[in-house]
Amino acid sequence: MIDYSDAGRLLGHILMGIRMIDEKMAAIKDFPAEKAMLLKHLVLSHHGNREYGSPEVPKTMEAVLLHYIDEIDSKIHGIREYMESNNPGEPWTAYHRVLERHFFRKKD
Ligand SMILES: [Fe+2]
């Protein structure tokens, strides 16, 4: 199981991601400034909007795509966990109140 580090919990993965990019870029001579900015924008905007923790909204095509990919990953992860832990051995889960549906599992 992957768990959160103390730094992850106290500082957040967006700030830590920016720091990681800065550290990696510092080790690359003459890293292009625009690429650095665009790369950081991906990390800063991947939650999609400010109310979900993004300091910036996605403003490039790549950033919009990354946001939706991250959102799909998050939703599927939550559904998978629910399906694995709810009514094991039964074909249907209990009703998921937030997503407003039952989920069906293959029988095999
Ligand atoms: Fe995130």
Distance 90 CA to ligand 1 centre (A): 33
Q: Is the pLDDT of residue 108 over 70?
A: no
| Residue 98 confidence class, pLDDT cut points 50, 70, 90 | very high
Please give the distance, rounded to the nearest whole angstrom, from the Cα atom of residue 46 to the centre of ligand 1: 6
Q: Give the domain ranges of the chain.
A: 6-66
pLDDT-derived band of residue 5, with 50, 70 and 90 as boundaries? very high
Cα dihedral 90/95/101/104 (nearest 10): 0
Dist. CA 33 → ligand 1 center (Å) = 24
CA of 85 to the centre of ligand 1 (A): 24
CA of 13 to the centre of ligand 1 (A): 7
Please provide the distance, in angstroms rounded to a whole number, between the alpha carbons at the two ends of the chain: 26
Name every residue whose Cβ is closer than 8 Å to that of residue 53 and which is 6 or more positions away in sequence.
12, 14, 47
Q: How far is the CA of 79 from the centre of ligand 1 (A)?
A: 17
Residue-wise pLDDT tens digits, 8-62 = 999 999 999 999 999 999 999 999 999 999 999 999 999 999 999 899 999 999 9
Cα of 69 vs centre of ligand 1, distance in Å, is: 11
